[in-house]
Amino acid sequence: MAESGETDEESAAERVTLGSWRGPLQVHCGHCGEFKRAHSLKLPRTLEEGKRRFHYVREPDIAWFRRKRSCTACGTEFLTAEVDETLIEELLRLRQREARRRSVAYAKVSQEFRVRQKWLDTTGDDVPKELAAELVRGSAWWLTHSSGRPVRAPRHADRLQKLYCGWSVDFGANWFAAGRALARARDYAKSVFLLASGGKLPVERELKLRLRKISSGCVLNVNRDFYDDYPENGAGELVFGAQAIDVNDCERVLMRLTGLNDLLIAYAKVKIEE
């Protein structure tokens, strides 16, 4: 336990009004992340805020004296609760116990969902054809359908060919390297499972963004060379003449096939479990 060396309380504020050189005492400011001098403010008399002494009805020994503080460094206003110090020690013990429980549970669910996806053990561009087909079926569109609206074009999956970069499908002059997209998603997913087993699952938005970016890097030109980054149109599509691959569809399919979707759900359950 570290000592923070301040003594007096409310009288410090009084000394300020008397023009003392000492100023307000130091309190830990959550915004600054360190001890800063903080003024003691009056509590507004609205609702319960005017009251200072509290306890929980079901846990009467959790009782505290409330103060409102204003950090002189950043101006943040916050409430403090003065309690018996043994409560802080109890909080520490409980927090550490909870962290141990979560870390065991995180490792367990990560391993469980990782082993379910056997295809993640593949290497290079050698991913199963049926998964490449699933990716194409779930993301290919025919933009100039006679109905006047784009329609899904799942039959492109029937035309997969094995190129040097794995299962791919041609759209006229361009190719979509579905196998490469899966391989890249797999490699990313494996790193995520590893992080997750250590309790550090990236947030959902980050996972999806990474998977979403994959498909535009998996387009070949007529010479079968990769574009660095095939441009999306405004609707999130990689357009090849009258056909397109929808990058948002790709993201959804890859989230599912890698098992990252299931991992996210299981992880969230660990967090809220009592």
Interface residues with Zn ion (CB under 5 A) are 29, 31-32, 36, 71, 73-74, 76
Q: Least Å distance between CB 50 and Zn ion?
A: 24
Q: How near is the Cβ of 235 to Zn ion at its closest, in Å? A: 45
Nearer to Zn ion, 73 or 91 (CB): 73
Residue 29's Cβ-count burial label (10 Å; 0-12, 13-18, 19+) is: buried
DSSP state of 147: T
The smaller minimum CB distance to Zn ion, of residues 27 and 127, is found at 27
User: Between 73 and 115, whose beta carbon lies closer to Zn ion?
Assistant: 73
Please say which residue, 26 or 76, places its beta carbon nearer to Zn ion. Answer: 76
Give 31 or 52: the residue with its C-beta nearer to Zn ion.
31
Yes or no: say if 50 and 44 are a contact pair by the CB < 8 Å rule: yes
Q: Write out the DSSP string of 109-132.
A: HHHHHHHH-GGGG--TT---HHHH
User: Which whole-number Å values give the CA distances from 58 to 62, 84, 243, in the listed order?
Assistant: 9, 17, 64
Nearest distance, CB of residue 41 and Zn ion, angstroms? 14
* In contact, 238 and 245? CB cutoff 8 Å: yes
Nearest to 69 by CA among 35, 108, 21, 118: 35
Nearer to Zn ion, 4 or 233 (CB): 4
Shortest spacing between CB 37 and Zn ion, in angstroms: 9
Q: How far apart are CA 245 and CA 233, in angstroms?
A: 11
- Minimum distance from residue 87 beta carbon to Zn ion (Å): 24
Backbone angles phi, psi at 118, to 5 degrees: -60, -30
Q: How far is the CB of 16 from Zn ion (least distance, A)?
A: 17
What's the closest the beta carbon of residue 233 comes to Zn ion, in angstroms? 46
Complex with Zn ion: residue 76 or 80, whichever CB lies closer? 76
| Shortest spacing between CB 68 and Zn ion, in angstroms | 14
Cβ neighbours of residue 83 under 8 Å, at least 6 residues apart?
62, 63, 64
The single-letter code of the amino acid at 258 is T
Give the DSSP per-residue string, 152-210.
E-GGGGGG-EEETTEEEEEETTEEE-HHHHHHHHHHHHHHHHHHHHTT-PPPHHHHHHH
Closer by beta carbon to Zn ion, 36 or else 156: 36
Residue appearing with tokens 């009084």:
14
Distance CA 199, CA 178 (A): 31
